[in-house]
Chain A
Amino acid sequence: MRRLLTIFGIISILGLISFTFPTTTTESTGSTDYTELQAAPNHQNTTVVPGSDAKRGIMQFLKYTGFANATPGHLIMLVVGLFFIFLAIRFDYEPLLLIPIGVGILIGNVPFLLDSGLKLGIYETGSVMNYLYFGVTAGIYPPLIFLGIGAMTDFSSLISNPRLMLLGAAAQVGIFATFIGALVLGFYPAEAGAIGIIGGADGPTAIFLSSKLANGINILPDGTTVQNLIGPIAIAAYSYMALVPVIQPPIMRLLTTKKERKIRMKPPRAVSKLEKILFPIIGLLFTAFISPSSLPLLGMLFFGNILKESGATKRLADTARNSLIDIVTILLGLTVGASTQADVFLTDQSILIFILGALSFMVATAGGVIFAKIMNVFLSDGNKVNPLIGAAGVSAVPDSARVVHLEGLKNDPNNHLLMHAMAPNVAGVIGSAVAAGILLSFLL
């Protein structure tokens, strides 16, 4: 109580001084404030009334507050950010992504006075957030994320049953279908390519491709500048990745019969260490030769996997799969969230991108499931695949595989599909990165 009184007393004295000796303050600081305000573009109408500095200061302060600069767009985005945080905590939907993105949305949408030289906004050159955002726009973070993914992923289920790789390939149909859909809706080919990659359900790949194709910098053949769609595409990709448990099960149930969902698959064989070491080396060389544009992603993915499987670089593998990926996830999530600044993000294009993203994701899921059913036509009875695992062909690792596993358990409590579903899931990661490389080489 005494402390509170002391603080209140000091504030009162300072207030009294400022009211009692207005001229002194005007002479010392008021004049510089006046020139600064004259220089600021938004404050040219500010008039100085002698003896009202305190009032003017308060008005000035109020002009800089978030309350004075808030727009309905800011409020909508703040609600979206809070909703992301709610989803992450309440329903456990990808909390490692949604909490940084949700907080990023809050940070990016706290209203402030634009063009006042405060260097606060993520799109203002020189701001801290702008520096961090450079990792997104320059495509630095996605390969580092892939390094971590490579170091934590066990490819043995794919090595033991390589035919499941075809499911990962089939699910990439969503990317190219959405590419066509985006063109029909009036996007330029480069933008359409960046939007299409949402169907790969791979956040880092979507960010990587959009930072190259739809970055607001490239000049199109007709002389216009491509739109900056990194924010909407990244948010759409990560949102749908988080919503895998909501989007995929209805499509899986719609396209399969109860009997098909109960199919039991042969347990995967044991994989030797040599095979595990050869897998990333062959994969790296082979995919890079087919699509060199995907090298930043696949190179890092397979590099991370070699660190893990070699057994000789345990420390590096530990860093890549723990500390490094955690740091990059924090920076990526936060900056992608902050890039949704209402005045840039809330556009007609963003809404279209969200619609296309959802369709893309559904088409990709359906593509995987249908292809699994087609595969079953040609496979013998003992070797049939459970078509549910086709849905894991989208590369939302490991959520998609987990959803398939849970869906399988609902139909047969003793049918564990997780290991089988991981194969198309990791094949989807490779497939979407190859697709990104191909789109890059066609459209850049």
Chain B
Amino acid sequence: MILNEISFDFSNISGFSLTVAIVGYLIVFGALVLLFFIYNLLPVFINFKVRRKLRKEGKCEDCDVSQIEGNVSAAISMALYLHLNEIHDEESDVITIKRVSKQYTPWSSKIYSTNPFLRSN
């Protein structure tokens, strides 16, 4: 019903409206492009400072401090987590099986291990 009544009037697009659309989009795009350049340069500046410090201390001549891959940092994080929470593979080798007070259990019952049916032969 309403769809039949829709009218397209292209004369509504004035010069001002076109300016808003085109300039507006270019500003949004430009703003994010500039942010891209800034954030692209950011690690370079940070690395420069850290690299100079390391070079002064003679620890590292040509190391890329920021290019640690996610996989590597995930492995380091897991190792630290395991270490700090003492969830480690090296056990103390002390076996700590406690003796239970209740001796009898159906699992150890002899009656369940016997066959109630006699063999014919």
Contact = CB atoms under 8 A, between A and B. Distances in A.
Nearest to A196: B21
Interface stretch (A4-12, A138-146, A277-285): A277-285
If over half of B's interface residues share one DSSP class (helix, strand or loop), that class is named, otherwise mixed; here it is helix
Interface of B: 2, 5-10, 12-13, 16-18, 20-22, 24-25, 27-29, 31-36, 38-40, 42-43, 46, 66-73
A352 B69 CA distance: 48
A341 interface: no
A163 B20 contact: no
B6 A185 contact: yes
A180 B70 contact: no
Contact of A275 (B6, B20, B24, B42): B42
Interface residues of A, number: 51
29 contacts: A165-B32, A165-B36, A165-B39, A169-B32, A177-B21, A180-B18, A184-B10, A184-B12, A185-B7, A185-B8, A186-B7, A189-B20, A192-B17, A272-B66, A275-B42, A279-B42, A282-B35, A282-B39, A283-B35, A287-B35, A291-B27, A351-B2, A352-B2, A431-B31, A434-B31, A434-B32, A435-B25, A438-B27, A443-B20
Given A165-B36, A278-B42, A269 B70 contact: yes
A180 B40 contact: no
Interface string A158-177: 11001101101110110111
Contacts of B16: 189
A435 B28 contact: yes
A49 interface: no
A162 B46 contact: no
B46 A275 contact: yes
A165 B33 CA distance: 7
A113 interface: no
Contacts of B13: 180, 183-184
A291 B27 CA distance: 9
B83 to A, nearest CB: 19
Given A169-B31, A172-B29, 11 more contacts: A165-B39, A184-B12, A186-B9, A189-B17, A270-B70, A279-B39, A282-B39, A282-B42, A348-B5, A435-B28, A438-B27
